[in-house]
Amino acid sequence: MTAVLFDLDGTLMDTPRVIVRSLRHILGTESQRYDDTDLARHVGRPLDVIMTDLFPEASAADAEEKKQEFREAFRSATVPDARELVFANVHGLLTQLENEGIATAIVTSKVTSSALELLEAGQIRSPFAAVIGHDQASSGKPAPDLALLAAARLRAEPSECLVVGDSPDDMRMGVAAGMFTIGVTWGVGDHDTLRTSGASTIATTGEELQSSLLAAADQNTRRGHGTTSKEPMPYA
């Protein structure tokens, strides 16, 4: 492993509940038709796709207005308190990966400007060599485009990249891109859903994620010191 591609919402930051509340805000009285589980399924999906699903008969202008309303509701509820939304262990994990020489990138269904604003507010922007938003590729998750673009930006082969995410679409994207995948269960996806979506392994705690990533980094270091071992990655 030479690079790790992280999802943002539900993986590095505890934002899924805010996304659900923001969706309820734009749905108005129609939100009563949905429970939180229904709305949580939209976490990690491109906003255009969400609008089409929730407002199938809306005109282009109305859908754009709903998107802007959602962004404003989400931003006002996250940016001021972004530092508190960063999951425990994230800062330490990113520092350790950096020390191991492992490149990192964000791959998100947010537009790039929104992702950058949230990362800056949460004070976790600097470790990432690239931030790849939905607006940078023609197809978003679960297509492989965003992951492959991130790998290219990091000058890493897809087979040497690992995707970390909390949603089925994160796992499907990684598999489609030919990458290893780690599903984390503190976001929107549970163990079984992530496994059936292609997760190579599952992390239920920050400690488990850190252990898996550092084991992969150690494998990379040993390979870099002349070993010709063809053993499977320890997280496979």
Is 7 part of the annotated catalytic residue set? Answer: yes
Predicted local distance difference test score (pLDDT) of residue 45: 87
- Could you give the dihedral angle defined by the CA atoms of residues 144, 147, 149 and 155, in that order, rounded to the nearest 10 degrees? -130
44 band by pLDDT with thresholds 50, 70 and 90: confident
Containing 106, the helix (H) or strand (E) segment is strand 103-107
Q: Which of 9, 166, 169, 170 is catalytic?
A: 9
Long-range contacts (CB closer than 8 Å, 24 or more residues apart) made by 190-194: 193/168, 194/166, 194/168
C-alpha distance from residue 117 to each of 71, 76, 138, 211, 228 (Å): 12, 12, 22, 29, 43
Q: Kindly state the tokens that stand for 180.
A: 């290893």
Predicted local distance difference test score (pLDDT) of residue 224: 57
**Overall pTM surpassing 0.95 (yes/no):** no
Is 9 part of the annotated catalytic residue set? Answer: yes
Residue 176: pLDDT over 70: yes
Looking at residues 212-232, what average pLDDT do you find?
58
Residues pairing with 105 in the sheet: 5, 130
Maximum C-alpha span of the chain:
63
Q: Which of 7, 145, 169, 170 is catalytic?
A: 7
- Total length of the chain: 236
Predicted local distance difference test score (pLDDT) of residue 198: 97
Whether the CB-CB separation of 175 and 158 falls below 8 Å is answered with: no
Residues pairing with 130 in the sheet: 105
Whether the CB-CB separation of 87 and 206 falls below 8 Å is answered with: yes
Other CB atoms within a 10 A radius of the CB of residue 169 amount to 23
Looking at residues 120-139, what average pLDDT do you find?
96
217 band by pLDDT with thresholds 50, 70 and 90: confident
Residue 231: pLDDT over 70: no
39 band by pLDDT with thresholds 50, 70 and 90: very high
